[in-house]
């Protein structure tokens, strides 16, 4: 603020000097009038240059500055600054717009030409230090069994080293997006979609029950660590990675659904049979404990058959009264 007031006072002084110099030259006092007029005109023409060094930063914004191609520092704290007016702000990713939130945006400028208003988007050279979420597009990847699946992740990240982000990579936003895709492929191919026997997902040589569907937290943590190792040189910190979409690819989704349905039916049948056998055993024991009815092996077999048909059938049994004898 002090520098802005200083340059403003000097600019006003230059205008006064031009006026006084002109008055002195009108009075034919060229010794004083010419220098005043010349100095005032020079400052009036060039005095706007120092105002280019005024910079305003909002919270969680940064400005990387170079002077004639040399990095001289970064402004990170919110406030009103004056820097060398010949400093240039550098941000190669200023025009890159990813599917993300929290980016620094500039308000569009409206220009009028021949009565027509044209909105021109400003290029903001400031870097955002906020937490941002990157949602990459869904990818089709083969799991460790070769089944094609579709998966998408959301990565929460932020810039922690502005100099590395600007100078170590060409475009840190595109670099992050590509590294997210690569890390996702590297980790997903280690896991099956669902639990499969004989699969080692940890690399210790022992089969485990890891899967994309059942171990989503572990998979997301491994994806996060994989991305972090790739973007360390770009001055980016990965805060969190989450799986936002997971499904079989369209071409095998119907087949895999039938497989899951068959597996569920088999499990249900096993439970029904186990329950039915237990109920039959209990019925036979209760009959024998009473001692009122004695069944031989053939009658027991017939009773077991009838009870299993009733208990394990898909439809309600129709009662049939047998008034005769088995013999």
Q: Is the pLDDT of residue 226 over 70?
A: yes
Q: What is the average per-residue pLDDT within 199-211? A: 81
Q: Is the pLDDT of residue 69 over 50?
A: yes
Q: What is the average per-residue pLDDT within 118-140? A: 79
Q: What is the pLDDT of residues 270-279, one digit of tens each?
A: 888 888 888 8
Q: Is the pLDDT of residue 105 over 70?
A: no
Q: What is the chain's mean pLDDT, rounded?
A: 81
If one compares 12 and 295, the residue with the highest pLDDT of the two is 12
Q: What is the average per-residue pLDDT within 202-208? A: 80
Q: Is the pLDDT of residue 146 over 90?
A: no
For residues 272 and 312, is the Cβ–Cβ distance under 8 A? yes
Topology, domain 132-248: Tetrahydropterin Synthase; Chain A (3.30.479)
pLDDT computed for residue 114 by the predictor? 54
pLDDT computed for residue 100 by the predictor? 56
Calpha distance 257→153 (Å, rounded): 23
pLDDT computed for residue 301 by the predictor? 79
pLDDT band at 318 (very low <50, low <70, confident <90, very high): low
pTM equals: 0.67
Q: Is the pLDDT of residue 308 over 80?
A: no
Calpha distance 14→36 (Å, rounded): 9
Q: What is the average per-residue pLDDT within 139-146? A: 86
Where do the structural domains in the chain lie, given as residue ranges? Answer: 2-93, 132-248, 255-312
pLDDT computed for residue 238 by the predictor? 94
pLDDT computed for residue 198 by the predictor? 81
pLDDT band at 248 (very low <50, low <70, confident <90, very high): confident
């Amino acid at each position: 603020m002090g520098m802005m007031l200083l340059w403003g006072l000097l600019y006003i002084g230059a205008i006064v000097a031009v006026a006084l110099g002109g008055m002195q030259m009108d009075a034919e006092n060229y010794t004083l009038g010419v220098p005043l007029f010349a100095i005032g005109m020079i400052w009036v023409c060039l005095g706007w240059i120092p105002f280019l060094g005024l910079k305003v930063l909002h919270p969680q914004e940064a400005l990387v500055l170079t002077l004639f191609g040399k990095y001289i520092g970064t402004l990170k704290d919110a406030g009103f600054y004056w820097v060398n007016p010949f400093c240039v702000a550098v941000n190669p990713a200023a025009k890159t717009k990813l599917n993300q939130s929290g980016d620094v945006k500039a308000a569009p400028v409206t220009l009028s030409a021949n009565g027509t208003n044209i909105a021109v988007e400003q290029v903001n050279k400031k870097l955002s230090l906020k937490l941002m979420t990157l949602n990459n597009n869904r990818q089709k990847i083969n799991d460790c069994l070769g089944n094609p699946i579709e998966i998408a992740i959301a990565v929460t990240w932020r810039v922690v080293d502005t100099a590395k982000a600007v100078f170590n990579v060409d475009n840190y936003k595109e670099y992050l997006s590509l590294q997210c895709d690569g890390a996702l492929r590297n980790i997903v191919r280690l896991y099956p979609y669902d639990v499969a026997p004989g699969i080692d997902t940890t690399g210790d040589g022992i089969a485990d029950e890891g899967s994309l569907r059942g171990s989503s937290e572990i998979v997301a943590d491994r994806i996060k660590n994989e991305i972090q190792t790739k973007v360390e040189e770009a001055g980016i910190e990965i805060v969190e990675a989450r799986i936002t979409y997971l499904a079989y690819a369209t071409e095998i989704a119907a087949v895999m659904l039938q497989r899951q349905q068959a597996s569920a039916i088999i499990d249900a049948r096993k439970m029904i049979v186990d329950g039915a056998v237990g109920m039959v055993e209990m019925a036979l024991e209760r009959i024998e404990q009473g001692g009122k009815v004695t069944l031989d092996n053939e009658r027991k077999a017939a009773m077991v058959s009838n009870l299993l048909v009733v208990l394990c059938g898909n439809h309600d049994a129709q009662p049939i009264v047998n008034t005769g004898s088995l013999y």
